[in-house]
Amino acid sequence: MRVLVCEDEDLMAELVGQALTEEGHDVEVVASGERAIDAVMQTAYDLVLLDVMLPGLDGFATCRRLRDRGSGVPVLMLTARDDVDDRVRGLDSGADDYLGKPFSLAELLARVRALLRRGPADFGGRVAVGDLELDSASSTVRRAGSRIDLTVRELAVLELLMREHGRVVSRDQILEHAWPRGAAHHSNVIDVIVGRLRDKIDRPFDAASIETVRGRGYRLRIE
Ligand code: CA
C-alpha cells in the first residue's frame, strides 16, 4: 500500500516511515500540508498520515482542503493531545481516524491496518434507496444523478444506514461497522459524521433523509 506521511519533525517522520516500510508499505514523507496536498493530487495513496502540528497550514486545514478538492483518501490524523476537542475537530475537518501523541508504534500500525482494511476497495456491492445510490467498489455516491464525494467513514456510515433503511440503527451498530473494534471513541464522533452526511446528501437536495431517533440512534428514510 502507498502511504503518505506528512510530518515536519524529522525524527518522528523517520520512526513512523521506518515502521510502515517494515510492514511492507511504500512510504513517502512530506514536511508540510501544502506538499501533502500536491502529493495527493498527483498520486493515488491508500492512506495519509497527517500530523496536526505543521508549519503553515496545520493538519486540520490540510485535511479540509483535501476534502474540498474531492479527495476521499483515508486520513489518519496525529493530534498533539488525545482530547475530545481535537478529535472532533480532526473528524470535522474530514479525517477518518485520529491518534493522540504520544502513541506507540504498535498502536499506530494497528490503526493503519484497520483503516486500510476499511479502505474503499474492501466494500463490496451497490445499494440504492430512492434517488440515493452507493457503489462501494468505486466509493461513489450519487443523489438524483449528482455525484457526491464522501470520506471512507462517511461512506461506511451511509452504507450501513442504506442497508438498514427504514430501520433504526443504534450508535453501537454504527461504531462497530465504521470504526475499528476496540478503539475507544467518544460518541460525539458519530454526530459529527452524521452531520457531515446531512450536509452532503440531504441539504443540497432539500431533503431530510437521516432522522435522529432520540435515545435509539438514526434511521434513513427516503420516500
Ligand atoms: Ca509536527
96 and 141 part of one domain: no
Q: How far is Cα 188 from Cα 175, in angstroms, rounded to an integer?
A: 11
79 and 150 part of one domain: no
pLDDT, tens digit (0-9, with 9 covering 90-100), for 79-127: 876 567 777 777 778 888 888 888 899 989 988 988 887 654 333 567 8
Contact 13, 40 (CB under 8 A): no
CA of 207 to the centre of ligand 1 (A): 41
109 and 131 part of one domain: no
pTM of the model as a whole: 0.61
Which of 54, 88, 116 terminates a domain? The answer is 116
Contact 14, 39 (CB under 8 A): no
Report the chain's mean pLDDT, rounded to a whole number: 87
103 and 136 part of one domain: no
CA of 151 to the centre of ligand 1 (A): 24
Task: Give the length of the chain.
Answer: 223
CATH number of domain containing 194: 1.10.10.10
* Cell numbers at 188, concatenated: 460525539
CA of 76 to the centre of ligand 1 (A): 14
Q: Taking the C-alpha atoms of 94, 178, 142 and 93 in order, what is their torsion angle to the nearest 10 degrees?
A: -10
CA of 114 to the centre of ligand 1 (A): 23
56 and 97 part of one domain: yes
How many domains does the chain contain in total?
A: 2
Which of 51, 85, 116 terminates a domain? The answer is 116
135 and 112 part of one domain: no
133 and 199 part of one domain: yes
CA of 187 to the centre of ligand 1 (A): 27
> Does a structural domain hold residue 46?
yes
Beta strands across the sheet bearing 97-100: 26-30, 2-6, 47-51, 75-79, 97-100
98 and 164 part of one domain: no
CA of 53 to the centre of ligand 1 (A): 4
Of the candidates 202, 216, 210, 86, the one whose C-alpha atom is nearest the C-alpha of residue 157 is: 210
145 and 106 part of one domain: no
> Does a structural domain hold residue 121?
no
pLDDT, tens digit (0-9, with 9 covering 90-100), for 47-85: 999 999 999 999 999 999 998 887 888 999 998 765 677
Q: Count Cβ neighbours within 10 Å for each residue of 172-205 and write b for 16 or more, e otherwise.
A: ebbbebbbbeeeebeeebbebbbebbeebbbeee
Which of 116, 147, 168 terminates a domain? The answer is 116
Higher pLDDT, 215 or 91: 215
Range of the domain at 177: 126-220
CA of 51 to the centre of ligand 1 (A): 6
Beta strands across the sheet bearing 168-169: 168-169, 217-220, 210-213
CATH number of domain containing 17: 3.40.50.2300
Contact 6, 48 (CB under 8 A): yes
Amino acid in the structure at residue 125 = G
CA of 140 to the centre of ligand 1 (A): 32
110 and 161 part of one domain: no
Question: Using alpha carbons only, how large is the chain's radius of gyration in Å?
Answer: 17
Q: How far is Cα 211 from Cα 209, in angstroms, rounded to an integer?
A: 6
